[in-house]
Amino acid sequence: MKPSLRAAFSAAVLAVALVVSPAPAQAAPLTMLGADVSSLQRTLDLGGRYYNASGVQANPYDILKTAGVNYARLRVWNNPASGYNNKAKVLQQAAAIKAKGLKLMVDFHYSDTWADPGKQYPPAAWANYSLTQLQTAVYNYTYDVCTSLKAAGLTPDSVQIGNEINVGMLWPRGQVVNSNFAPLASLLKQGYNATKACNSGTQVIIHVADADSMSNMRWFYDGIRAAGVTWDLTGLSYYCMWHGTLANLYNVIVDARTRYGKPVVIVETAYQFTSADADSEKNSIPGTVLCDNIPATSAGQAQQFTWVQNTARNAGAVGVFYWEPTWYAIKGNGWDPANINGTGDGWDNMATFDWGGKVNPHIRWTA
């Protein structure tokens, strides 16, 4: 995007947004320029290749670094049927990440499969645990993963205690019912304590997908704060087709930052570069709903990502992470960990690499 357009948009966001709390006098640079690369190891193990903007094959981490990435995020599942995104694979991939000089965020789902606002299944081994047993399990598991990384010289720079836990995690024990945050808070405290026992400098993130709603965001973070939960960074997901306007995002970030006194990071965002589908797996986001009239093209994908970064920066956030930019369509890297070979990639139109593994030449992570 031309600098003049970027500046004009930045000014427009500031002018349009209904500011509910003071914005920073001068926006500080984004320090966490992130990419969630949780599916990358599987692609590489299948022989997948990545190509830079010139079409030359290169290491995918190098390609991302050239585009501005300085931080990588990895999800960890307890015992997934696929054998990927477990502790062993996180250790393997973390070594590659740290070797490239990137910082590391570990995203604990506390599940054997996807955890998000609509589902927070406990891992099979914990299915019949009482709340007290879950508290012990969360502490021990978090501490084990963190200390295993630390022992290998791969200490995480940040961790998420749960993933998109809008109404709790490890349901039903840790689900928030009738605004009772005590059970969830007891689990979050154990995750926080385990992380700090492993390494006091590792930042703890509490993450919800409430960038669309200030009232929901306040309900959640007010609730855990009142229940005595401590955290270091407030994490939000923002997908414009689900979470509304950039002006609203701006307001939510400013309010979260000032209300809780914690830095805010957008730990997930993405935009489509096409509405087409590369495989038999239905796209999670069809690409037919456009944001800000930005087309579903490579240039459009880059434009929307730049605008999200500009909005976050102007609102005083500290970082933005693109979710799964490397997950291009390759047979065998399926969506369902219980059937990784038999399912396709629901993110093939949202990755920043095309269906042949070439990076979008327009996209940039910018401080």
- Give catalytic residues, as residue numbers: 164, 268
Q: Among 330, 334, 327, 365, which Cα is nearest to 349's?
A: 327
CB atoms within 10 A of CB 31: 14
Residue 36 bridge partners (DSSP): 73, 323
β strands within the chain, DSSP E: 32-36, 71-76, 103-108, 158-161, 203-208, 233-237, 264-268, 319-323
Are the beta carbons of 34 and 319 closer than 8 angstroms?
A: yes
Distance, C-alpha 261 to centroid of its chain: 21
Are the beta carbons of 101 and 356 closer than 8 angstroms?
A: no
Residue type for 179, please? S
What DSSP designation does 126 have? G
Q: Is 308 helix (H, G, I), strand (E, B) or coil?
A: helix
CA 61/CA 107 separation, integer angstroms: 19
Q: Is 276 helix (H, G, I), strand (E, B) or coil?
A: coil
Cα angle at 312 between 6 and 68, to 5 degrees? 70
Sequence-separated (6 or more) residues with CB below 8 Å from residue 327: 39, 40, 43, 333, 345, 347, 348, 351
The burial class, CB within 10 Å (0-12 / 13-18 / 19+), for 153 is: exposed
Judging by DSSP bridges, how do beta strands 264-268 and 32-36 pair with one another?
unpaired
